[in-house]
């Protein structure tokens, strides 16, 4: 079975990426064989379409609500048709998940697989990253990756990076760009794909990454409008950082022993060097007992940082895990802190690798205790180290307290992952941001109030505007290091719509799809920390949008039919980080 053509075609329009992967396979054997299509796609993406065509006949994938897809699948099985499951293989790595379909094809037959997925690229540490996983497992006669980017704000910088590049392969890579557009083409010949001339083995195995950022002039951000939907991007630059009051709550239970505690020490030593003099900080470590490094927050002077570094170097691991008491202690240290600058950001960063085993071990009680104690005043970030943590518990606790959760993978680079996370939250520059739009002219508005804005990230708000609107006024209110800000902007609807009209390769309703994608992501996130009744309402709304815009989300599945006489139906489900 030979893959004779593999084409990845990706169009990014104003951060919204639409990727189509087409794989053409021929069976050169003289009997029927299994052809497999395997793609790793970004976890943040939603599959929107899949089809197989075998000898000219097309077998589409149909997106349905999860339960009814399962029912259809079960019926096929009970009628004696053999049915196979396409599962996304559970979350494979930190950024990717796998989609896998196989079908049996007759001798000399051809099959074309086509998969489409979409995602909104998220700005992190000052750049957008588009990740394409390349792993054909064989030499491919026609291999091609095309990335087209159109950013009306202008492209500030653009770089392509790959884990498998060689000098020969760089000759197969071209990059053309002007003010607002870029085209990256990677088209290696069969010879260029070989590990060496004598071996029919492929070099193409790894990540193909495009990173870029856009130009930003307007102080109140950038508004784009297509077909009655708008998106507003806001990422202010060059503003002074707000001082932070940060408490690191570090798990030193037995399961952290060895490499994990070493990597934690390495990361914390690095973080101590990155604290700014106006920041205040402290450490709490815990196993079955909770220990405070100091009873109050200390200014991040060189002296205090050095003393903290000596303390971090003594961290060792043994015993149980009392998450409840450790977090309550952190809250009370912040509560008791005096003379904290009025305009400062207080945060707790928890790192743990396990379930609560000591003290209060009921996760629901812990969540309740912490939420009551924090009471919306501090942001809680939860880092789960490895796969023995209850990620769902950490995620719910973080989202209920104005923070986020992140999984840290037990790899050689765990210390870098920890540092990377810290860098994302290291520089808060605005707080209590309100993005205001005229109520009578905008509906279906995505989240438009944000507690914190960190340098290097981006706020995105989207919604639908009423038909007769000529000017869309916007007002942003926020608190900065020194003062209260009010930024105003007016977007001329007709002018804004003009921007995309003559761009041939753009799919026309992309802002509407971007709006749906963002709304679904936010509804799902909100449902994690919601009460049960609200959860059902939020999930019902997310499901309705998933079906209307045909996205495979955690609430929908894709049913893939197959030629008669074969495993009849397959089902694709989207995994979540919490499993």
What single DSSP character describes residue 349? Answer: E
Label residue 159 exposed, middle or buried (CB < 10 Å: 0-12, 13-18, 19+): exposed
Tell me the C-alpha distance between 46 and 10, whole Å: 14
Tell me the C-alpha distance between 137 and 37, whole Å: 11
Q: Which two tokens stand for residue 58?
A: 């097309």
Tell me the C-alpha distance between 147 and 151, whole Å: 13
CA dihedral 327, 328, 329, 330 (to 10 degrees): 50
Alpha-helical regions (H) of 219-274: 259-274
CA dihedral 199, 204, 206, 207 (to 10 degrees): 160
Q: Which two tokens stand for residue 463?
A: 């919604």
Neighbours of 570 (CB within 10 A): 24
Sign of CA dihedral 505, 11, 455, 434: positive
Which pLDDT value is given to residue 82?
A: 39
* 70 contacts 77 by C-beta, under 8 angstroms: no
Neighbours of 506 (CB within 10 A): 18
Q: Which two tokens stand for residue 41?
A: 């796609």
Label residue 542 exposed, middle or buried (CB < 10 Å: 0-12, 13-18, 19+): buried
Domain ranges of the chain: 244-426
Q: Which two tokens stand for residue 364?
A: 């629901």
List Cβ<8 Å contacts ≥24 apart for 274-278: 274/422, 274/423, 274/426, 275/246, 275/300, 275/305, 276/241, 276/243, 276/300, 277/301, 278/243, 278/341
Which pLDDT value is given to residue 407?
A: 87
Which pLDDT value is given to residue 201?
A: 86
Alpha-helical regions (H) of 138-258: 167-170, 190-193
Tell me if residue 501 falls in helix, strand or coil: helix
Which pLDDT value is given to residue 76?
A: 62
Which CATH number among 3.40.190.10, 3.30.565.10, 3.40.50.1240, 3.40.50.410 corresponds to the domain 244-426? 3.40.50.410
In order along its 579 residues, the chain shows pLDDT tens digits of 788 999 999 999 999 999 999 999 888 888 877 788 888 888 889 999 888 888 888 888 888 888 777 777 677 656 554 344 444 444 445 567 777 777 777 788 888 999 999 999 999 999 999 999 888 888 899 999 999 999 989 999 999 988 888 888 888 999 999 999 999 999 999 989 888 888 888 888 888 999 999 999 868 889 999 888 999 999 998 889 999 999 999 998 988 888 888 888 888 888 898 899 999 999 999 998 999 999 899 999 999 999 999 998 888 888 988 999 999 999 999 998 878 888 899 999 999 987 888 888 888 899 999 999 999 889 999 998 888 888 888 999 999 998 988 888 887 788 888 888 888 898 999 999 999 999 889 999 999 999 999 999 999 999 999 878 899 999 999 999 889 999 998 998 888 888 877 665 555 688 999 999 999 999 998 888 888 889 899 999 999 999 999 898 888 888 776 666 555 556 666 766 665
Which pLDDT value is given to residue 568?
A: 54
Strand 46-54 relative to strand 57-65, pairing: antiparallel
């Amino acid at each position: 079975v030979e893959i004779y053509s593999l084409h990845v075609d990706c169009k990014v329009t104003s951060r919204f990426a639409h990727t189509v992967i087409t794989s053409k396979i021929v069976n050169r054997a003289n009997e029927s064989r299994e052809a497999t299509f395997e793609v790793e796609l970004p976890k943040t993406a939603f599959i929107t379409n899949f089809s197989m065509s075998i000898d000219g006949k097309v077998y589409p994938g149909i997106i349905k609500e999860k339960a009814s897809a399962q029912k259809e699948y079960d019926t096929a099985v009970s009628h004696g048709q053999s049915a196979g499951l396409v599962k996304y293989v559970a979350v494979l790595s930190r950024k990717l998940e796998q989609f896998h379909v196989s079908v049996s094809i007759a001798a000399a037959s051809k099959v074309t697989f086509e998969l489409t997925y979409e995602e909104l690229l998220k700005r992190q540490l000052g750049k957008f990253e588009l990740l394409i996983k390349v792993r054909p497992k064989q030499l491919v006669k026609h291999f091609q990756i095309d990335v087209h980017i159109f950013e009306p704000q202008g492209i500030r910088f653009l770089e392509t990076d790959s884990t498998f590049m060689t000098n020969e392969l760089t000759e197969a890579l071209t990059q053309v760009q002007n003010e607002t557009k870029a085209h990256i083409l990677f088209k290696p010949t069969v010879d260029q794909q070989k590990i060496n001339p004598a071996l029919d083995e492929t070099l193409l195995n790894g990540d193909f990454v495009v990173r870029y950022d856009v130009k930003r002039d307007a102080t109140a951000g950038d508004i784009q409008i297509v077909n009655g939907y708008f998106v507003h991007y806001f990422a202010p630059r060059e503003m002074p950082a707000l001082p932070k009051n940060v408490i690191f709550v570090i798990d030193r239970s037995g399961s952290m022993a060895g490499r994990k505690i070493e990597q934690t020490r390495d990361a914390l030593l690095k973080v101590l060097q990155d604290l700014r003099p106006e920041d205040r900080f402290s450490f709490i470590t815990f196993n079955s007992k909770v220990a405070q490094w100091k009873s109050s927050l200390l200014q991040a002077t060189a002296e205090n940082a050095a003393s903290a570094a000596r303390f971090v170097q003594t961290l060792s691991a043994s015993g149980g895990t009392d998450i409840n008491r450790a977090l309550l202690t952190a809250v009370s240290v912040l509560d008791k802190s005096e003379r904290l600058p009025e305009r400062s950001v207080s945060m707790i960063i928890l790192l743990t690798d396990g379930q609560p085993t000591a003290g209060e071990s009921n996760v629901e009680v812990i969540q309740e205790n912490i939420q009551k104690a924090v009471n919306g005043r501090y942001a809680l970030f939860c880092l789960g180290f490895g796969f023995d943590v209850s990620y769902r518990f950490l995620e719910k606790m973080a989202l209920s307290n104005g923070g986020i959760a992140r999984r840290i993978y037990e790899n050689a680079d765990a210390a870098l992952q920890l540092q990377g996370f810290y860098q994302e939250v290291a520089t808060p520059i605005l707080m209590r941001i309100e993005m205001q739009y005229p109520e009578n002219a905008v509906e279906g508005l995505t989240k438009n109030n944000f507690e914190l804005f960190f340098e290097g990230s981006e706020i995105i708000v989207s919604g639908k505007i009423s038909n007769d609107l000529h000017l869309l006024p916007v007002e942003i209110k926020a608190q900065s290091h020194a003062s209260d800000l009010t930024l105003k902007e007016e977007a001329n609807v007709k002018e804004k719509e003009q921007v995309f009209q003559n761009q041939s390769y753009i799919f026309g309703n992309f802002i509407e799809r971007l709006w749906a994608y963002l709304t679904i992501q936010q509804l799902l996130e909100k449902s994690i920390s919601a009460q049960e009744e609200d959860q059902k309402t939020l999930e019902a709304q997310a499901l309705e949008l998933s079906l209307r815009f045909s996205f495979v989300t955690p609430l929908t599945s894709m049913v893939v039919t197959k030629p008669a006489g074969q495993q009849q139906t397959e089902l694709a489900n989207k995994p979540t980080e919490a499993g």
